[in-house]
Amino acid sequence: MYTIGIYPRKSVYRDNSDSVAVQVQLCKDYAGIVFKDRETEFRVYDRDEGFSGKNTNRPSFREMMEDVENGVLDAVMVYKLDRISRNVQEFSAMYEVFQRHNVSFISVKESFDTGTPMGRTVMYILAAFAQLEREKVELDGLNARSFASQGQTRTAALSLKLAAREIHKEIIGEYPILLLDDVLSELDPRRQEYVLNRLGSGQVFITCCEEDRLATLLGGQVFHVEHGKITC
């Protein structure tokens, strides 16, 4: 039996982040694809809702690490890398424990598995971006948030995500699936047009609530979700 520990966490910073239940289901669905030829079982560590990812002082995280050290788990799976850590130093320490106990680390959204050399490389790159995205940006000693608008802050976060996408392409040879959740609402028309039409190859999913923002869309396909039904 191959035992997979699923670690979900809802961000304390964003009310619209994926729910714990959704993260767990996405991980189970992904495991069903990746390990379709193995008999698997799951242990879910889901009591860290509301805890920050800036450090590892979280009850379910500690429980999971105890199980890793006790040889209970064969793999740890998260929906997204920053659900488990936003600090490169702590993430590296965690992963060293995984290595000592032959436990693989798998991220669904970033599509990598540390059971492969390439997966390990991508993991450290994305961990660095997760930390950079969270930390304060200072200009001349001032916190950028003290004078930057929300739109400017989201533009900076978008730039980091697109940079991580390009690095993934450079290393892996193909683009990861990119999800941009409500990213258009805080961008000016020029940046909206860039997001809609100039991201190049790869699969990109963009969610938005106002259809008029799609007026400049030159390609792709638009899906509408209403009353639990999807139409195109």
CB 48 within 8 A of CB 63: no
Amino acid 62: pLDDT = 93
Name which of 20-29, 63-72, 94-103, 105-114 the model is least confident about: 105-114
Rounded Cα distance, 98 and 119, in Å: 14
Rounded Cα distance, 38 and 159, in Å: 39
Amino acid 15: pLDDT = 47
Amino acid 91: pLDDT = 76
pLDDT average, residue stretch 164-189: 74
pLDDT of 131 > 60? The answer is no
**3-state secondary structure (DSSP) of residue 177:** coil
Share of the chain above pLDDT 90, in %: 22
- Nearest alpha carbon to residue 162 among 127, 193, 204: 204
- Nearest alpha carbon to residue 184 among 145, 155, 146, 226: 155
2-134 against 138-231: fold identical = yes
Domain 2-134 matching CATH 3.40.30.10: the answer reads no
Amino acid 96: pLDDT = 83
Rounded Cα distance, 164 and 129, in Å: 7
Per CATH, the number for 138-231 is: 3.40.50.300
- Residue 191 has a CB neighbour count (10 Å cut-off) of 16
Phi, psi of 41 (to 5 degrees): -140, 155
Rounded Cα distance, 188 and 152, in Å: 10
Domain positions in the chain are 2-134, 138-231
